[in-house]
Amino acid sequence: MFGYSMADIGNIMVMQGFSGLSMFTVLLLMALGLAIIFGQMGVINMAHGEFMTIGAYTTVMLSKVATTYGFVNYYFVFAIILAFILAFALGYFIEFIMIRHLYKRPLDTLLATWGLSLVMQQSFRSTFGAKEVSAELPEWMLGSFKPTPDIDIPINGVFVMVLALFVTAGVYLFMYRSRWGLRVRATVQNRVMAGAVGINTQKVDRVTFALGCGIAGIAGAAFTTIASTGPTTGTLYIVDSFMVVVFGGAASLMGTIASAFGIAQAQSILQFFMTSSMGKVSTLLVIVGILMMKPEGLFASKLRK
């Protein structure tokens, strides 16, 4: 930080802070899906990043169609919806053919979903090629606005943040203000009793897993606004996403939000003053230190055993 004036440092903090917000939105959307799958169901889904990649490739392909037929300014909202539907449908199918046989077997689930992630990566590579591709953004998402002469805030970053807030609000309403969310929480707290009162716990598991995958698809659509997409794009975020969920507290929506924000901001600011690797290492060391004092995470959920 030496060699910078106080004004420079202030501008850097604002710019890097906003850059961190862009990363925060992707991490939050990824972690929301994981918080549902891992926090609510106890399933370690190592293929979660590939469901994000499905959403990203869906957006890229739809952008090519939109460019060809001249509706670039309108396609992105439909791409978000389609990314959610495709990821949700595949998640529903994967739960039916594989995940439902592995509940209460976390190591087997980890290995099976890791194998699934490799299969999906190779499928992406065979279908779309090994090179990274980018989506054509609508004109209304291009450019930036300047709150001060020295600060530029990209419009696409603002859009992604609004999207993340909208999805977070939707997850909250689904989990805590709907009958289906009540069934999910009842199943998590006491599966046997939930089944005894007539809740179809297998269907709850299937829809919950698919919902988490669908949210990852939305994260992939959002990701295309800030970076290009390749077959291994999802693997770049899976570790950070698990870190967000564990650090915030499994099954805690507020913990997921707070953890995603803190990790994204710390990495963004530290990586400006350090190397990228050192910034991540410093953030990880702080998280490990906090988890040693609070192993249950920042916001631990109280469940009946």
Q: Which of 171, 242, 243 is nearest to 208 (CA)?
A: 171
List, for residues 25-47, the tens digit of each pLDDT value.
Answer: 888 888 888 888 886 677 889 99
- Predicted pLDDT of residue 257: 86
Mean pLDDT of the chain: 84
CA distance 178 to 169: 13
List, for residues 65-114, the tens digit of each pLDDT value.
Answer: 998 888 888 899 999 999 999 999 999 999 999 998 888 888 889 899 99
CB contact at 8 A, 220 and 102: no
Length of the chain in terms of residues written: 305
Asked if residue 52 has pLDDT above 50, the reply is yes
Which of 81-95, 116-130, 178-192, 265-279 comes out lowest in average pLDDT? Answer: 265-279
Q: How many CA atoms lie within 13 A of 227 on its CB side?
A: 15
CA distance 266 to 281: 11
CA dihedral 95, 96, 99, 102 (to 10 degrees): 160
Q: Work out the pLDDT band at 219, boundaries 50, 70, 90.
A: very high
Asked if residue 269 has pLDDT above 80, the reply is no
- Predicted pLDDT of residue 15: 62
Instruction: Give ∠ CA 264-211-199 in degrees, rounded to 5.
Output: 130
Q: What is the pTM of this model?
A: 0.86
Burial of 31 (0-12, 13-18, 19+ CB in 10 A): buried
Burial of 70 (0-12, 13-18, 19+ CB in 10 A): exposed
Please enumerate in sequence order all residues whose Cβ is within 8 A of that of 260, keeping only pairs 6 or more positions apart, or say none.
Answer: 24, 27, 28, 31, 244, 248
Asked if residue 7 has pLDDT above 80, the reply is no
